[in-house]
Amino acid sequence: MLREAGPSREPFDLAIIGGGVNGCGIARDAVGRGLRVALFEKNDLASGTSSASTKLIHGGLRYLEYYEFRLVREALIEREVLWALAPHIIKPMRFILPHHPAMRPAWILRLGLFLYDHLGGRKALPPTRSLALADDPAGAPLKPELRGRAFEYSDCWVDDARLVVLNARDAADRGAVIRTRHKVERTERRADLWVLHVTDLRDGTSETIEARALVNASGPWVDFVDKTLRPEKSRPRTRLVRGAHIVVPRLFEHDRAYILQNADKRIVFAIPYEGRFTLIGTTDFDHRESLDEVKASPEEISYLCEAISGYFSKAIWPSDVVWSFAGVRSLLDDGVDAAQATTRDYKLEIDADGGAPLLSVLGGKITTYRRLAEEALNLLAPHFPGVNKQGWTHTAPLPGGDFPMQGFSQLVEKLVAQYPGFEKLYLERIARAYGTRASRILGSARTPDDLGEQFGGGLSEAEVRYLMQEEWAETAADVVWRRSKLGLAMTPEQIMRLDEWMAQQKSEAASAGTGAA
């Protein structure tokens, strides 16, 4: 339970609504500066947009066309900063950009990539180079007429949902209260305090807490939540844009990704995914349906299949799709007609006219979440005279990321030497997910049997226990679709068995009064 509000209890300094990447990033930065923090998420961490991205830490090459130079520069700088903070869940990736005679001219592509290489102070990532696809393995999967000139450049891949969870984990390790499945039902602004009435959606119990400042980081719900917080001042400021992705059996053998131009000026990526698959996305369609259950529509799935089939020799069809997902981006409504042209920049609005400050997070992208959090704390700092005003998150590794940014292979080899009874492929997955914390799962195990029940896909009882105790996992979906993507390697029956096992563990933990911090 949270600390109850009242004269005998000290209020929190900061309450945050929203357990996505921005909310968890702000929680981490705030508690590291000495603030008392509570975060509330009505579902699971990263259950919305933050787990439905294209899994990229990137500058956004196409944003240069819209003259978003400041945003692109900030994002390019963040690539290597984030890679250094979490080299287990973030890794460099090379992208192939074929020149299509009917699309943008080659000189435009070359100019854009020159800017991309030089805007953001790139140091560790390799530069752009030209390719002759007829002589390169990257040309083999493409249609013969597209095996001409291409460019290859650098960005980074990220496990987006784990990025969110690790920010929350580090925030909790530093003293923040993280509450999932807790909904803020209503709030009251009383002079210099916010009063929050919170319901635990698992058992219906309610409690009231106080905080000196409130952050609305609810993503697509930001306008709706803001309307409940301050109905007299609220106005629509965001545009909801849905991005869909599909996963198909692997389309190519190499480890590079493709960025492909479409006639409608959208960009579609084809990215190596989870070993045996290719991730394809994304779309940009205005979203006017419910936010509670966002799915890729049949039209979006067909659109992505057609886009890829226009480039690859092997056509793909909706029947080839093994998994699809979609997320709704809450973008700043800048009045443009086309959804794909809407800015990916962010804006922070602070309202302190009525007493206790309210900070609303509008827009943003996963690559710039850390900078957004830093700016949010800088805006809130005047309301907390004793708080540390110095940013610190640019050098502090996320949990498991305390090893050199180019040292992942060495980490894996260390685990192979330490755990000779395990397959290297399994240890690579564990290292990619947990970094230096892998030993917290493997412990003194000598073989997989020592890790308890095996649920399928290489998922063990020991790993699930860790996820429940340390990472707020409560259901099979939390484990196999957010904290991992092992759902792609498991049968429905195996996932059902996992859900049953976790429900039993939750019941036993509730009786004992234990759970994730």
Interval 433-451: pLDDT, tens: 999 999 999 999 999 999 9
Give the domain extent around 120. 90-158+239-339
CB 242 within 8 A of CB 283: yes
pLDDT of residue 102: 81
Is residue 282 reached through a cis peptide bond, with omega within 30 degrees of 0 on the bond before it?
yes
In a domain, 397, yes or no: no
249 and 151 housed in the same domain: yes
Mean pLDDT, rounded, for 166-171: 98
Last residue of a domain, one of 319, 339, 359: 339
Q: Assess if residue 463 is contained within a domain.
A: yes
pLDDT value, residue 339:
61
Mean per-residue pLDDT over the chain, rounded: 93
Q: Do residues 315 and 257 both lie within one domain?
A: yes
**What pLDDT was estimated at residue 509?**
79
Written as six digits, the tokens of 207 are: 């409690």
Instruction: Name the percent of the chain lying above pLDDT 90.
Output: 79
Can you read off the two tokens belonging to residue 96? 């192939």
Decide which of 205 and 339 is more confident. Answer: 205
- Would residue 121 count as lying in a domain? yes
Q: What is the pLDDT of residues 83-97, one digit of tens each?
A: 999 999 999 999 999
pLDDT digits (tens, 9 = 90+) for 456-488: 999 999 999 999 999 999 999 999 999 999 999
- DSSP run (H or E) holding 361: strand 358-363
Question: Quick one: pLDDT band at residue 4, thresholds 50, 70, 90?
Answer: very low
Q: Specify if 194 maps to a domain.
A: yes
Q: Do both 260 and 363 map to the same domain?
A: no
d(CA 269, CA 281): 5
CATH code, domain with 279? 3.30.9.10
Q: Does the structure show a pLDDT above 60 at 222?
A: yes
**517: pLDDT confidence band, cut at 50, 70 and 90?**
low
Instruction: With cut-offs at 50, 70 and 90, classify the pLDDT of residue 5.
Output: very low
Query: pLDDT digits over 421-431, tens only?
Result: 999 999 999 99
148 within some domain: yes
Q: Does 152 have pLDDT greater than 90?
A: yes
Write down the pLDDT at residue 335.
66
Q: Residue 237 above 90 pLDDT?
A: no
Burial class (CB in 10 A: 0-12, 13-18, 19+), 106: middle
Q: What is the pLDDT of residue 515?
A: 58
Write down which residue in 339, 364, 392 finishes a domain: 339
Residue where the block lists tokens 């306008």: 223
Mean pLDDT of 324-345: 77
Q: Is the pLDDT of residue 235 over 90?
A: no
Residues 6+ apart with CB under 8 A from 162: 89, 433, 483
pLDDT of 243-269, one tens digit each?
A: 999 999 999 999 999 999 998 889 999
Q: Are 147 and 247 members of one domain?
A: yes
Choose among 73, 127, 145, 143: nearest CA to 367. Answer: 73
Q: Are residues 282 and 426 in the same domain?
A: no
Whole-number Å distance between alpha carbons of 13 and 355:
14
- Residues 8-46 have pLDDT tens digits of 378 999 999 999 999 999 999 999 999 999 999 999 999
What is the pTM for the complete model shown? 0.95
Q: How far, in Å, CA of 53 to CA of 49, rounded?
A: 7
Domain count, the chain: 3
Residues 36 and 176 in one domain: yes
In a domain, 59, yes or no: no
Q: Is the pLDDT of residue 180 over 90?
A: yes
Q: What CATH number is attached to the domain comprising 496?
A: 1.10.8.870
Q: Provide the pLDDT confidence category of residue 65 given band limits of 50, 70 and 90.
A: confident
Same-domain status, 178 and 102: no
Residue 269 has a pLDDT of 97
Q: Please tell me the predicted confidence (pLDDT) of residue 371.
A: 97
Per-residue pLDDT, averaged over 318-331, amounts to: 95
Q: CA 237 to CA 127: how far, in whole Å?
A: 38
- Same domain? For 102 and 201 the reply is no
Q: Find the mean pLDDT for residues 279-294.
A: 92
Of the ranges 43-47, 157-161, 291-295, 371-375, which one carries the lowest mean pLDDT score? 291-295
Assess whether 291 and 212 both reside in one domain.
no
Q: Kindly report the three-state secondary structure assignment for every residue of 126-141.
A: CCCEEEEHHHCHHHCC
Q: Is residue 232 included in any domain, yes or no?
A: yes
Within this chain, do residues 498 and 464 fall inside the same structural domain, yes or no? yes
220 located within any domain: yes
- Contact (CB, 8 A) for 437 and 462: no
Answer left, alpha or beta for residue 452, where phi above 0 means left and psi between -120 and 50 means alpha. Answer: left
Residues 249 and 144 in one domain: yes
Task: Find, among 187, 276, 271, 264, the residue nearest to 225 by Cα.
Answer: 187
> Residues 124-152: what's their mean pLDDT?
96
In sign, the C-alpha dihedral spanning 143, 147, 148, 149 is: positive
Question: Given this model, what pLDDT does residue 338 score?
Answer: 64
Report pLDDT for 120.
87
Domain shared by 506 and 416, yes or no: yes
Q: Is the pLDDT assigned to residue 48 strictly greater than 50?
A: yes
Place of tokens 């564990």: 430
Give me the amino acid identity at 261.
Answer: Q
Q: Which residues pair with 16 in a beta bridge?
A: 39, 215
Closest CA to 408 of 423, 427, 421: 427
At residue 511, the pLDDT reads: 80
Domain boundary among 339, 369, 393: 339
Question: What six digits make up the tokens of 459?
Answer: 């998922």
